[in-house]
Amino acid sequence: MSLTEDCFTGFLESVPQRLGFRTAGLGEVPLEEALGMIAEAGYTMVEFCMEHRDSSSYGGSLSGLGLSSVSYHGKKDTPDVRERMIHSAVGKACELGAGVLVLGSPLSALCSRESFFEECSRVMKMLPSGMRPAWEPEPGTVLKDLAVFGELADHLGSEAGLNLDFGHAFLDGSSPSGAVQAYGDRILHTHIEDIACGVHRHLLPGHGEFPWKAMLKALAGIRYSGPLVVDLFELPVAPLTYVKASYSGVLRELGVT
């Protein structure tokens, strides 16, 4: 068996231990209950999102789940709200022991690229030792794609990390292998979901056109060791059933048995 096959097999076997779900996707469910749902579905990790209604006041455990990151996106927030929320996110990350802080950017209509880059420079200065930022490109925001992230990374230096949302990159025409090869050493965290018909709508795994196996091979090729976090928002009346379906769907699409 070649090294590449060994690497791929080992990566495949490690997937269940690194699958996570975002608490923002269960934003209307009390956080303690949401964490219980994520664990019951089979996930072993959770992304603690500041957008969840209970995030600021929550002081409980993570229901046995590992912590993938603390995150804040706030794409519709004003600059002063973003500043306050980023400080809160850093504090929560310190409280929970998160090594990665996932951050989004404002909508492009609300902020200039220059102002956002200045915000990112301030973030770099406020992070404690041992914590790294991972910015997420998203269509419609200032950080709209991987090309703009490349400019941001050049501006900030080697400590600036990437949260690679594979669905967003796929919408921009980037293949999983191309995105990973271009930014592999900066990928600290990932979001995964299905995408269909070039529309920015996060779908259950298996309900779109995303090339799951190609993603897996690309990540295995760089020996990625971070989390794979499912990013879904359009949850039905029975969210537990949906979260369970997302977990089984990921395993099915990736060929994990």
pLDDT in tens, 197-235: 999 999 999 999 999 999 999 999 999 999 999 999 888
Q: What is the mean pLDDT of residues 52-59?
A: 92
192 contacts 202 by C-beta, under 8 angstroms:
no
136 burial type by CB count under 10 A (0-12 exposed, 13-18 middle, 19+ buried): buried
- Provide the token pair at 58: 């929550």
pLDDT at residue 3 in the model: 47
Q: Percent of the chain scored above 90 by pLDDT? A: 89
When pLDDT is averaged across residues 65-80 and rounded to a whole number, the result is: 97
Q: What are the φ and ψ backbone dihedral angles of 203, each rounded to 5 degrees?
A: -115, 160
Q: State in Å, rounded, how far the first CA of the chain is from the last one.
A: 20
Query: Residue 50 above 50 pLDDT?
Result: yes
Average pLDDT of the chain, as a whole number: 95
- In this prediction, residue 1 carries a pLDDT of 44
The pLDDT of residue 257 is above 80: no
The pLDDT value given to residue 193: 98
The CATH architecture of the domain made up of 3-254 is Alpha-Beta Barrel (3.20)
Q: Residue 10: which pLDDT band, with cuts at 50, 70 and 90?
A: confident
Mean pLDDT score, 136-161: 97
Please list the residues that pair with 126 across neighbouring strands: none
What tokens were used for 105?
């950017």
Question: For residue 241, what pLDDT is reported?
Answer: 94
CB neighbours (10 Å) of residue 253?
21
Give the pLDDT confidence score for residue 183 in this predicted structure. Answer: 95
pLDDT tens-digit series, residues 79-128:
999 999 999 999 999 999 999 999 999 999 999 999 999 999 999 999 99
Please list, residue by residue across 207-239, b when 16 or more beta carbons sit within 10 angstroms of its beta carbon and e when fewer do: ebebebebbbbbbbbeebebbbbbbbeebeeeb
Between the alpha carbon of residue 233 and those of residues 209, 220, 224, the distances in Å are 18, 27, 26
Kindly report which listed range (2-16, 59-73, 240-254) carries the lowest average pLDDT score: 2-16
- Amino acid present at 194: D
Residue 230 pLDDT: 98
- What's CA 50's distance to the chain center, in Å? 13
- The per-residue pLDDT for 80 is 96
Whole-number Cα distances in Å, 13 to 6, 193, 216, 224? 11, 20, 11, 13
